Amino acid sequence: MVKTNILLVDPEKPDKKTTDEAAKILRGGGIVSFPTETVYALGGDAYNQEVVAKIYRIKRRDRSKTFSVFLKDAGEVRKVVDFISEDAKKLMEKFLPGPLTLVFKSSSPKLSFVLAGGNRLGIRVSPSRLVYRILDEARVPITATSANISGKKSCIGANRVFYFFNGRIELILDGGRTKIFLPSTVLDVSGEEVSLLRLGSIPVEEIKKVVPKIKVLEEEVSKEA
């Protein structure tokens, strides 16, 4: 058990003292929950095997399921993925930063702990100023998994995060209720076709305006991240 501290933060205008504290905890192997433009996330150093293992454990998440990662901006995507298709480029240009997770092929050895033994990596580039500041100061990719117990609804307020994870994570940044209550839409862009893996904040109709041919298999659509 650890002491879980709560700090108030303005997601639109985060103060440097607060984001410095969050980044310090992340660099030191701790876990921080913070609001994104969608729901609250559980963030840890995606390069740290022990941290990733702990997040799997406290979320009670199946180890066969991967974790996505937050990157500071779309320009960092090329550093961690093997290939970016033309459709992926179009989606990145239209929707990033935004509530979209794109799944690429990746052979990045540093991110092997979030890949669950596979070669698919989910990428999130959030428009949140708070998330950007944390990433900029932490200087490592951060896990982009929702702050919930697997199978439970994602948390849209800090009080629910505290209910689930008090004593299990070091810090909760309380930015109030999130504005969008749905998690990010998840698309697999690792192959020749774009496939919908999870319904989310960006409607399928909007995606089809950019990439008309999108594979939607209802039985494959996941309900959690």
Q: Note whether residue 60 is domain-resident.
A: yes
Instruction: Please give the pLDDT value at position 218.
Output: 57
How high does pLDDT run on average in the chain?
94
pLDDT higher than 60, residue 225: no
What band does 119 get if pLDDT is binned at 50, 70 and 90?
A: very high
CB 6 within 8 A of CB 67: no
As given in the structure block, the two tokens for residue 68 are 């996505």
Task: Return the closest-CA partner of residue 36 out of 135, 116, 115.
Answer: 135
* Total domains in the fold of the chain: 1
pLDDT higher than 80, residue 6: yes
Q: Note whether residue 135 is domain-resident.
A: yes
Q: Note whether residue 132 is domain-resident.
A: yes
CB 114 within 8 A of CB 45: no
Q: Note whether residue 162 is domain-resident.
A: yes
Residue 79, classified by CB atoms within 10 Å of its CB into exposed (0-12), middle (13-18) or buried (19+), is exposed
Give me the CATH number covering residue 62: 3.90.870.10
Task: Return the closest-CA partner of residue 101 out of 216, 207, 186.
Answer: 186
Per the structure, the complete domain to which residue 48 belongs is given by 5-220
Q: What is the pLDDT of residues 36-72, one digit of tens each?
A: 999 999 999 999 999 999 999 999 999 999 999 999 9
Instruction: Please give the pLDDT value at position 125.
Output: 97
Q: Note whether residue 76 is domain-resident.
A: yes
- Bridge partners, 32 (sequence order): 43, 171
What band does 10 get if pLDDT is binned at 50, 70 and 90?
A: very high
Q: Note whether residue 225 is domain-resident.
A: no
Other C-beta atoms lying within 10 Å of the C-beta of residue 223 = 9
Q: What is the pLDDT of residues 141-165, one digit of tens each?
A: 999 999 999 999 999 999 999 999 9
